[in-house]
A = this chain, B = another copy of it.
Amino acid sequence: MSRRRNIRQTGPLEASDVTSQLYRVLARANQIASTTELDDLLREMLDLIITVCGASTGTMYLLDEETNELVFQVVRGNKTDLALIGQRISADKGIVGQTIQKKEAIVVEDLANDPRWYGPVGDGEGQLRNAITFPLLLRGEPIGAVQTFNFTQTPLQLIQLLGNRMASEYEKAALLHKSEQHSQRLQALISLIARISTTLDRDQILSLIIDQARGLLNAEASSLFLLDEESNHLILHLTKDVHETSLPPLRIPADTGIIGHVVNTGEAVSVRDARKDKRHYDGIDEISGVQTKSLLAVPLRVPTVVLGRQRGTTEARIIGGVEAINKTDGSFDDNDIQLLSTLAEQAATVLHIAHLYTDADELFLNTITALVTAIDAKDPYTEGHSQRVSDYSVAMAEELNLSPEIRHQIRVGALLHDIGKIGVSDAILAKPDHLTTAEYAEMKKHPAIGARIIKQVRRLQDVLPALSQHHERMDGKGYPQGVQGEEISAIARIVAVSDVFDALTSKRPYRAAMNIETALEILRIEAGDHLDDRYVDACISAYSKGKIQPQMRTISPLHPQPKPGQ
């Protein structure tokens, strides 16, 4: 009330008595309209209309053009009346239907005896005696209607004016709401894209997409299918449930279900009720435990990716699809299709790039593994040696809780530690007898040769000590430089322990392989003077936990490493 008084005080607004009531109503309408909160606006406008009619109660309906139904948008009255909100009636019948069709107001003095009235009229205080019903017109066309009950006045021209204003305000507030909501969802999409882009870990990317797509689209669940080209199956990845347990991956033939259609055709598909769509595959509902009603499915389409001038491009292709299931507010619309398609395309790109990186990384590791294995194989007694030293060193690094970055360096350094043997005559390498002093001097060159070969590679500088220092000793009596203690790089001290351990547990021309307990005992003896006792402890501890299984690489020395990043 104080705000209304304020409006009246804004100027020397002289007016005749006849129109002063009218101005008060219109000023109030202006005041109501100065909110952008749609619900407040509609409710207060309806109240104003009820007031000017001297009515007791009223309803505002909005026309759903798609279904030609009127939706109870605002209802003023008791609890029973409020329960009507959201309900729908046909726009073809009754008084409200007629007001919509004729685009004019209808005044009914005796509701109970009007054949067009098909609702209850009630009794007592809540009885509906009469009604004014009029359309809400926007640019001359109805977008809804208002009905007031138990009126005492019929200011039809005024309420039509207010009703049309309500229509126009409704349109603007709805447009603004839609636009702001759209911006918010685009912002959310951008944040999500930023998050997805900061990982090259495939499983993490998949989890992020599945978990976030659901929120972005207000869906009950979401799932992702990746095409396995070898078996021509789609592999299903689901939203993790609240207990963070994830189901094992499941697979369906690639031509199955709506998702199969999407992956085959590259078209997005949105259905209001999947159960009525003959392409829908019920089996998925059984697996996921979610009964699919509305469904939106889009392809995971990797665009052409430019690798660089010397590397060319990779081809565009579809690698799977993403589904959002059961929109919680209505059914999926064009904005949803656009959002999910954009997310899916970006996700597919990131997945592809993660794959390219992992591939390049795997290619490097597998190639050096193949090469060092071939070099080791020149001496049957060292077959598989470098791979085992690498495995043992990584197991020790895990035992020491070293970071994955350092573990990777240790893996690479240990694999390459004996690469200098390329430069040692194979007569010496494979000599079954003990070496002569001259031969031993030649053999002792391999750390320096290895470092000389690899120091050309800028990105391997950190692992060089694994090559150059793995025959140094803690007491300084090692080779080639005779450095001691902490002067020896940690990576070299770790590799030295694995190197000795593998030598002891391998067969030699002049002795059988030692049993592990004996080998570990010798390591303990060597700790301090020869080997770093911390790393000897790490080796013993890793062995006791089953992380080190000596000679496991002997049978199949060319067995590829597990894929990094998987």
What is A's interface to B at a CB cutoff of 8 Å? Answer: 3, 6-7, 10-16, 18-19, 22-23, 26-27, 30-31, 33-34, 36, 103-105, 134-135, 137-140, 156-158, 160-161, 164-165, 167-168, 171-173, 175-176, 179-180, 182-183, 186-187, 189-190, 193-194, 197-202, 204, 303-313, 342, 345-346, 349-350, 353, 356-364, 366-371, 373-375, 377-378, 403-405, 407-408, 419, 422-423, 425-427, 449, 453-454, 456-460, 558-560, 562, 564-566
Q: Provided the pairs A190-B193, A190-B342, A370-B456 are in contact, do residues A198 and B305 lie with their beta carbons within 8 angstroms?
A: yes
Q: When A and B form their complex, which 10 residue pairs have the shortest distance between CB atoms, in order from nearest?
A: A308-B565, A312-B404, A13-B157, A360-B360, A199-B306, A186-B186, A179-B179, A312-B405, A11-B104, A364-B364
Partner of A19, one of B7, B19, B173: B19
A-B contact pairs, 24 of them (CB 8 A): A10-B164, A11-B160, A34-B168, A175-B176, A179-B180, A179-B183, A182-B183, A189-B190, A198-B304, A198-B349, A200-B305, A204-B306, A308-B564, A310-B564, A312-B407, A313-B404, A356-B357, A362-B458, A366-B458, A371-B419, A374-B419, A374-B453, A377-B423, A453-B558
What residues of B have a CB within 8 angstroms of the CB of A425 in the complex?
A: 426-427
- Tallying the copies of this chain within the complex gives 2
| Known contacts A197-B353, A363-B364, A453-B374: A23-B176 contact under CB 8 Å | no
Find out whether the CB atom of B30 lies under 8 angstroms from the CB atom of A164.
Answer: yes
From known contacts A134-B11, A140-B7, A309-B565, infer whether A375 and B422 are also in contact, taking CB-CB under 8 Å.
Answer: yes
On whether the beta carbons of B350 and A197 are closer than 8 Å, the reply is: yes
Cα–Cα distance between A378 and B27 once the two chains are bound (Å): 98
For A34, the chain B residues whose CB sits under 8 A away are 138-139, 167-168, 171
Q: Which residues of B contact A367 (CB under 8 A)?
A: 364, 367-368, 454, 457, 460
- Known contacts A18-B18, A371-B422, A564-B308: does B10 contact A160 (CB below 8 Å)? yes
- A361 — nearest CB in chain B belongs to which residue? B360
A197, B346: Cβ atoms closer than 8 Å: yes
A306 contacts which of B27, B33, B137, B200 (Cβ < 8 Å)? B200
- Specify which chain B residues have a CB less than 8 angstroms from the CB of A103 in the assembled complex: 10-11
A140 with B6: CB separation less than 8 A: yes
Residues A16 and B18 in contact in the complex (CB < 8 Å), given A309-B201, A358-B308, A367-B368: yes
* Distance A215 CA – B3 CA, assembled complex (angstroms): 46
Q: Is the CB of B370 within 8 A of A453?
A: yes
Query: B204–A13 contact, CB under 8 A?
Result: no
CB distance from A134 to the nearest CB of B (A): 7
- Minimum CB–CB distance from A143 to chain B (whole Å) comes to 11
User: Besides the contacts A23-B158, A198-B303, A312-B408, what 7 more A-B pairs have beta carbons closer than 8 Å?
Assistant: A179-B179, A197-B353, A201-B309, A310-B407, A363-B457, A364-B364, A456-B559
Partner of A311, one of B371, B404, B562: B404
A377 vs chain B, min Cβ distance (A): 8
Complex Cα spacing A146 to B460, Å: 74
* Residues of the B chain whose Cβ atoms lie less than 8 Å from the Cβ of A345: 194
Q: A10-B140, A306-B201 are in contact. Are A362 and B459 (CB under 8 A)?
A: yes
Task: Determine the chain B residues whose CB is within 8 A of the CB of A202 once the complex forms.
Answer: 308
Bound-state CA distance A558–B309 (Å) is 23
Question: Is the Cβ of B200 less than 8 Å from the Cβ of A156?
Answer: no
What B residues does A359 contact at CB under 8 A?
A: 459
Q: How far is the CA of A405 from the CA of B187 in the complex (A)?
A: 37
Known: A160-B10, A422-B375. A458 touches B310 (CB 8 A): no
Q: Give Cα distance in the complex from A375 to B346, angstroms.
A: 44
